[in-house]
Structure 1
Amino acid sequence: MDDTALAERFEENRPRLRAVAMRMLGSVAEADDAVQEAWLRLSRTGDAEVDNLAAWLTTVIGRICLDMLRQRTARREDDYDTEPPTAEVTPEDEAMLADSVGLALLVVLDTLTPAERLAFVLHDLFAVSFEEIAPVVGRSPDATRQLASRARRRVRATPSAGSPADRRLVDAFIDASRGGDLGTLLTLLDPDVEMRIGPVSQRRGADVVARFFSGRAQAARPALLDGALGIAIVVGDGLKAALRVTTDGSRITVLEAITDPTQLAALDVELLKD
């Protein structure tokens, strides 16, 4: 097959390969690098000995991503930069990644070992058989099945970190609060929104809650609170308050403030990128 025909066949598989790489790596830039490497390997090999190009490419992209994840882990262990070098990622790239992968899944996948991540992503999300995955991770099919099973249990046991739409709501709420944008706050809050502060104090209604928060979120950060999407109020290195956020998918319906120092100390807080 000539180079043009080979390139055309690769382009037919590109969307699937990119989807696998994005779920494996959690980075648009790294996913694009992995897909490019897959093309280079195919162009060097050709397709003369490839019976099923789609399956071959899926295996290749899996190997590439596994190597990249292992290199990332090795850098952390050697006290190098925790973030791998990547090309500049635009806000549009980040939004696309969140929409295609899902915030909750990205968070959970980062807790898995590279082999667990590969087994889960290829089998559960892309229906690749354990027999095909096994050579990539260097395990037997039964051992590979156990890798995916462990990963699946962890995914199911992790609290929801919210949908991409929920994350956009939280980000927009923080921005509008910081800027004192009362009109935008009113569009983000359910008309009957409830704000809870401690066991007794409550505020109800979009107008009341919006006025309370207008101009008051200067130290607010999007965060995972015990694995669930919320807001952390961080001053210096200290967590001063936290807000659990409940939405209906389009508006915020409940804001539950946590201010008690004992409760704050017990929270597992992971700050998210603004």
Structure 2
Amino acid sequence: MRRDDPATDVFEAQRPRLLRLAYRMLGSHAEAEDVVQEAWLRWHRSDRAAVTEPAAWLTRIVSRLCLDAMKSARARRETYPGIWLPEPLIEPADDETRADNITLTLMMALERLSPLERAAFLLHDVFDQPLDDIAATLKRSPAATRQLAARARAHVRIDQPRYEIPREDGEALTRAFFEACRVGDADALGSMLATDATLRSDGGGKVLTFPNAIQGVDRLVRLFLGLSRKLGARMEFLGHAVIDGLPGFVSRIDGHMQTTAVEIVEGRIAAIYITRNPDKLTSLTQPA
């Protein structure tokens, strides 16, 4: 791309927002990059003199490309080995990404929506697009679009994170959780986990994970004690991280990198999300 090209400058100014939108729609950095690259090609080929609002035009193109991509993505996830988690988005991220106020928990909730519901919710509630523009993007009437967004909101049932804790507290709890898992401290684990805590892990069929969600403090404590006996000596803490808005950390276990994000509710860990699929960790570098 020529940096002195005004059309390129217009697109580059929108690129971060378009990438955020595509990632929130697809849950994949690589697919988001592909969509935004295709949007660039269409922008380059378009009659730009006829485009009165480039930001709205590009948002519409990216949204429609994402809707097309979501159809094939859903088909792939039906045969995905084990649990699918979004690719981890690890801070530091730009201020606008943090302002989205979307956590990994909410990203998982969005997976329950139809593609149109997800698009309507994100465009309306997160990216503040005018309803008429969303309707044109989705090729639905404004009334139908409003219903899509309302139905999505009802299914998701959260517009903001339910609880926020200081970053320092999140780091202290996640480090203590890692250490309890490493040494097999049953009492510490029991005190940190909520009664109905749930673990979900994504290995993509490439590395060992748990194929189904595991729920309940007793089951999780037994599981972590077993892992400590087998792998505790090969667990390495690499650094704290904020992962899709949740406190977490990056670690290496038996030579394999992984991210662990936790949802903390009333001071206890209510949900654990572990990503080990190496294809989803390609951009991950060891924290300083």
Contact 1:21 1:34 in 2 (8 A): yes
1:112 partner SS: coil
What TM-score does the superposition give when structure 1 sets the normalisation length? Answer: 0.60
Partners of 1:126 and 1:238 lie apart in 2 by: 31
Contact 1:161 1:224 in 2 (8 A): no
Aligned to 1:126: 127
Mark the runs of 5 or more structure 2 residues left unpaired by the alignment. 201-208, 221-246, 248-261, 276-288
Partners of 2:198 and 2:149 lie apart in 1 by: 29
Residues 1-274 of structure 1: matches in 2 within 5 Å?
4-76=5-77, 79=79, 93-95=89-91, 99=98, 101-156=102-157, 171-180=174-183, 212-213=187-188, 225=196, 239=214, 241-242=216-217, 254-255=267-268, 272-274=273-275
Q: How many residues align?
A: 214
Contact 1:25 1:65 in 2 (8 A): yes
Partners of 2:210 and 2:13 lie apart in 1 by: 50
Letter of the 1:213 partner, please give it: A
Partners of 2:215 and 2:72 lie apart in 1 by: 37
Contact 1:17 1:58 in 2 (8 A): yes
Partners of 2:265 and 2:152 lie apart in 1 by: 31
Identity %: 34
Partners of 1:17 and 1:236 lie apart in 2 by: 33
Q: Which moved more, 1:28-37 or 1:144-153?
A: 28-37
Mark the runs of 5 or more structure 1 residues left unpaired by the alignment. 182-209, 257-268
| 1:152/1:240 CA distance change after superposition, 3 Å | closer
What TM-score does the superposition give when structure 2 sets the normalisation length? Answer: 0.57
2:52 partner SS: coil
Partners of 1:31 and 1:8 lie apart in 2 by: 20
RMSD: 4.6
| 1:238/1:120 CA distance change after superposition, 3 Å | closer
